[in-house]
C-alpha cells in the first residue's frame, strides 16, 4: 500500500427522512426513508471548518480514496487527488464523499427495497434531480455537525452538484471547485444519454425495470457504457491508445468478430461495468443530468441564476473535452465574475478528453492545493466570511 494513501477505509451509512415525512423531491413526490453511503478521510477540526465535500460523476460512488481491504488491488476512483500531501490533503482537510441519491453503491436507489412492498423499487422509484441529490447531501452534512463546508468539488456530474450546492445553499459553502462541467447539458450530451437509455430498455431482460431476482439487462447496460465511454475520450487519445491496430490478429477477419483494439477495449469496458452498476440507476442518473439546468430551461440568465452565490471559485476545464467543452466552463466563470466574486478559471492542455479529470493529477493538484490553501488560510485569519 502506498505511503501517500489514506489507507484502509470503510463505507458508512446515514439514514434519514423516515415516513411519514420523507425527503421532498422536485418531481412532487416524497421519498423515505433515505440512506446515503459515504466515506470520510482525514480528521474534522474542532470548529468543523475544514470539511471538503467530494461529489462523484455518473458512474462513481462513495469510494473515492484508499482501499477497502489490505489485498484490494485498486484504490478509490480519485485516489490520485485525495490523501496525505495530495490536492485534497487529508493531513489538513476532512474529506467526505457520498454516493448520490439514486445510486447503487449503498445509497437509496431503484435497486433498493421499497419498505412499502418489500421488493426493489424498480421503476416505481420516483424521478430524481441533481437538486434532490444535493438536498440529501445537505442532510448528511448537517448530521455530521458541519454548518459551513470549506469547499465542494467534483468533475462532470460532480461539478453540476457543486454548482447546485452554491446556488441552493449559498451560506453553507466557502468555495467551489467545479471541474469539466456545465450549467446545463448540451443537446449532444442529452442525445448520447438517450441512446444509452434506449439500449438498456431494448434489452429483453430489462423487463420494464423489474429484473431483480432474474437476469439483469447486462447487454443493454454494456452498450450504454460503451456509448458513454466514447464521449469520455478524445479523438487524439483514441488515436494514441489504439489507432487502427488489430486485436490479437495479423489480418482482418472479414466478419463481425472483434478486429480492432478499440473494439476490444469498448467491449471490455462494457463488460466490467455490468458487474458493478445497476441498469435502472443508469437510467435515473442520466435523466437527472439531462434535467439539470441552472437557467431553468432558459427562463432566466445564468448571471441571474448565480446572483445569490457567495463562494469563491476555481473552475477547471480540459482542452480536448468535447462532452463538457471549455467554453461551457468559461460561461460559468464569466457569469460569476459579473457578481464580482473571486473566480479563477483554468483550461488544462490535455489530449485525454473528458476523462482527463480522472487521469491527470499534475496540473489539477497544483491548482487545487494552492486554491484550497488560500481559502483555508483566509478563513483562519477571519477574512473569508461574506
Instruction: Give the active site residues.
Output: 156, 321, 354
The three cell numbers of residue 99 are 454516493
8 Å CB contact between 365 and 87 = yes
Task: Tell me the C-alpha to C-alpha distance, in Å, between residue 359 and each of 210, 288, 363.
Answer: 36, 25, 11
Strands 30-31 and 23-24: antiparallel
Question: In angstroms, rounded to a whole number, what is the distance separating the alpha carbons of residues 60 and 164?
Answer: 18
Q: What is the distance, to the nearest Å, from the Cα of residue 287 to the centroid of all Cα atoms in its chain?
A: 14
Question: In angstroms, rounded to a whole number, what is the distance separating the alpha carbons of residues 205 and 216?
Answer: 6
8 Å CB contact between 32 and 83 = no
Question: In angstroms, rounded to a whole number, what is the distance separating the alpha carbons of residues 90 and 81?
Answer: 10
Question: In angstroms, rounded to a whole number, what is the distance separating the alpha carbons of residues 239 and 216?
Answer: 34
8 Å CB contact between 85 and 25 = no
Task: Tell me the C-alpha to C-alpha distance, in Å, between residue 358 and each of 14, 64, 179, 290.
Answer: 27, 11, 10, 22
The three cell numbers of residue 263 are 473494439
Amino acid at each position: 500500500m502506498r505511503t501517500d494513501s489514506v489507507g484502509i477505509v470503510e463505507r458508512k451509512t446515514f439514514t434519514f427522512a423516515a415516513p411519514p415525512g420523507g425527503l421532498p423531491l422536485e418531481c412532487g413526490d416524497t421519498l423515505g426513508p433515505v440512506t446515503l453511503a459515504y466515506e470520510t478521510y482525514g480528521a474534522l477540526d474542532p470548529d468543523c471548518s475544514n470539511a471538503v465535500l467530494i461529489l462523484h460523476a455518473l458512474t462513481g460512488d462513495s469510494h473515492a480514496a484508499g482501499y477497502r481491504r489490505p489485498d484490494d488491488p485498486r484504490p478509490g476512483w480519485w485516489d490520485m487527488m485525495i490523501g496525505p500531501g495530495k490536492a485534497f490533503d487529508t493531513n489538513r482537510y476532512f474529506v467526505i464523499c457520498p454516493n448520490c441519491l439514486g445510486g447503487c453503491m449503498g445509497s437509496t436507489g431503484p435497486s433498493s427495497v421499497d419498505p412499502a412492498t418489500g421488493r426493489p423499487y424498480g421503476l416505481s422509484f420516483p424521478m430524481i434531480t441533481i437538486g434532490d441529490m444535493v438536498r440529501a447531501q445537505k442532510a448528511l452534512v448537517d448530521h455530521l455537525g458541519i454548518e459551513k463546508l470549506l469547499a465542494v468539488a467534483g468533475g462532470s456530474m460532480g461539478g453540476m452538484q457543486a454548482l447546485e450546492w452554491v446556488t441552493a445553499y449559498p451560506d453553507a459553502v466557502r468555495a467551489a471547485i467545479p471541474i469539466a462541467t456545465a450549467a446545463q447539458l448540451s443537446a449532444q450530451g442529452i442525445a448520447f444519454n438517450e441512446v444509452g437509455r434506449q439500449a438498456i430498455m431494448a434489452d429483453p431482460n430489462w423487463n420494464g425495470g423489474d429484473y431483480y431476482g432474474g437476469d439483469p439487462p447486462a447487454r443493454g447496460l454494456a452498450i450504454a457504457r460503451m456509448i458513454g465511454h466514447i464521449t469520455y475520450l478524445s479523438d487524439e487519445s483514441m488515436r494514441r491508445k489504439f489507432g487502427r491496430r488489430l486485436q490479437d490478429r495479423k489480418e482482418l477477419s472479414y466478419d463481425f468478430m472483434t478486429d480492432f483494439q478499440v473494439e476490444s477495449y469498448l467491449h471490455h469496458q462494457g463488460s466490467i461495468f455490468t458487474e458493478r452498476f445497476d441498469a435502472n440507476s443508469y437510467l435515473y442518473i442520466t435523466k437527472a443530468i439531462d434535467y439539470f439546468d441552472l437557467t431553468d430551461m432558459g427562463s432566466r440568465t445564468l448571471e441571474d441564476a448565480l446572483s445569490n452565490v457567495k463562494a469563491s471559485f476555481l473552475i477547471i476545464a480540459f482542452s480536448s473535452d468535447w462532452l463538457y467543452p471549455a467554453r461551457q466552463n468559461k460561461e460559468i466563470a464569466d457569469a460569476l465574475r459579473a457578481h464580482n466574486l473571486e473566480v479563477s478559471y483554468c483550461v488544462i492542455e490535455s489530449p485525454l478528453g473528458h476523462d482527463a479529470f480522472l487521469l491527470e493529477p499534475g496540473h489539477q493538484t497544483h491548482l487545487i492545493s494552492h486554491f484550497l490553501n488560500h481559502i483555508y488560510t483566509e478563513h483562519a485569519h477571519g477574512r473569508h466570511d461574506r
